[in-house]
Structure 1
C-alpha cells in the first residue's frame, strides 16, 4: 500500500470519538462448556486491541459476541455508551473480516465492494466514488472487474478489508484475517493493515493466535486462556512485565526458559531468590556466552543443537540434565554442537514465580 495520504477525502480519517466498546463481565456457555468466563475490557476510540491466545481460549467467541453473531449468556456489551448486548448485527454499525474472507464468488470485486453500500442512502455516483476511493486506498483499482477466483490470496484479503471499510463503520472486527496467507505475505499485509487502521483511526478488535503478529500490530493485547483474560497491556508491557508463568511463556520467541528452584543444576547458587519463589524464568536472549559479558551467574553447558535463525543463532544447551535455550547474535569459533562452553546471565534478567504461577519478581 502507498503512504500517500492525499488521495480521497471521506476515508482520510474516522470519527476519533466513535467506537468505544465496553465488555462488562461477559460470559458465554454452550451446554456444559464455558467458552468465555467473565471477560471485562474497554476498547478506546481509535485503538487497535488484539485478542490473543491459544486455540480454544475464547477469543473468537468474544469477537462474535461484539459483532452480535453470538448472544452472551451473561454480561453487557456497550458501544459508544449504548447497551448493544442483544442488538442485531446489522444495527451495530460495524464491519467484520473473516478468516475465509467471505467474498461472493460470482460477483466482481466492484460488486463485492458495493454490497455493503446497498442499504445506505447514497446515489449511484456517491456509491461509485466511495468504491473508487477504497480501491485507490488499497491499490486494487485494476482488480475491480475481476472475480475473487481470479485473485491471489493477498488480493482477496485486500478486497475483504475493502468491503469492511467501504461504508465507514464505527468498529472494525478482524478474525484471523491473515491466516490463509504465506509467511512473507502475512508480514507485509499486517503492516499494511496497521498503517490503514492508523490512518482511518477506526476502533478495531483483532483476533489472532500468532504472538508475533499481535506484538507488531496491536496498541494493546488482551491475552486469553480458558475463557478469561490473563493480562491486558501494550506489547512492551506484556513482554517485560508478565503477570504469571503463562504470559511469560506465551509471549516471546524462542520461549522463555523455566527452571525449578530446587535441583542439582547449581544455576542459582549465585542468586538470592525471593522466599516464596519456586520457579525461575530466563529469556533466551538474556543467556549469553560468558566471556562476552561480565555475567554474575556463569555455568558450563553442553551445546546439543545450533540453529541459525536469521541474523542470530538459537542454541540448545544441556546443564546437568536441564535444557536451556540461548539466543546469540554471533557464533564465535569453538561454539558448536557437541562442545562444552561457558554461558551466563545477569540476575536482574531473572523472573521468579510462586507456587500459584504468579510473577513475584520481574527480570
Structure 2
C-alpha cells in the first residue's frame, strides 16, 4: 500500500495526470470508471483564485465518486500560493498539488510552473509557504530541470521533502524539451533509490502500453505511475495496465459498444457540468481520439464536430454503433498527443 499523508492507495497506483483543458470532471469520471486510482484537477492559477476568476473557481469542482482527488495550483508568489491553498482547503479535496512542471510560455515565462525550475530556492520557499498554510497533504509535480544543463531533480526532491511534501511526481523531461524526444526515467529512478527519500515517487512520461508500465516499474522501482496523454481518448489504458500486471496477459481492447458508451457518458457529463453550448463544443476535441482505428470514420467525425445538440450527437453515435457492430479494432500503439503543441517554448 502507498500512503500520501492519510491517503491510502493500492500497492502500485495508477494516477491520472493533471492536464489543462483535458482533465475536467467529465474526463476524470470516465478515467475513474476504467481504473484510475487517483486523479487531479486541471491546474488552477493562485492569482485567479484570489481574484475570484470564474474559470479558476469552476476548476475547484470535485465530486465524491472521484476520491481520492487532488486540486492542483500554480503560481510564483509565496503569499498568493499560501492564500490559494487556504481557498482550496475549503473545498475539501484529499490533497493539494503544486505545479512546477507546466512548460508552456504563458506559465513558465511568468515565473510559475516549470519556470520555477530556474530558481530552486524560490521553489522551496513557495512549497514551504503552501505546506504551512494548509492541513491537506501537499504534493508536487515537476520536471527534471529547466534544460540539459540544469537537471537538478535530485536536489529538488530532497529539499522539497525536507519542507514537508508527502509525494513527488516527476515528468522525465526538461522544460525546454516540452514533449519532444523520449522521456528520461534514469533520474526518476535515482531519486526513488536515494536512501534519503522516504516519500512516494511517481514517474510520468511516455507510458503508452502495459508492457512499458511493467518494465519501468521493475527497472526504476518507482511507487506508481502517472499517466497523462495516453489516457486522452483512451481511458481504458488504466484497466489494461492493471490487467497486464495481474495476469501477464493483455486485456481485450474496448469494443465499439464500450467506446460509444464512454463517449455518451463523457458528453452527458460535459453538458451537465458546463452547459449545452460549452459542453458540446469542448467535446469536439475528443471524438477523433475515441473513434481512432475505425475505418472510414471521417464522415461521422465531421458530423459530430458540427452538429449542435446532444440529441443529434447521440443519433450519430447510434449510427456508428450499428455500422460498426461486432467490428474488432486492431490493437495499435496508443498515440501520445501533444496537447500543448500550439504553445511555443520561446
TM-score over 0.5 (shorter chain)? no
Bigger strand fraction: 1
Give the TM-score range, shorter chain.
0.3 to 0.5
Q: Between Structure 1 and Structure 2, whose CA radius of gyration is higher?
A: 1
Structure number with the higher helix fraction is 2
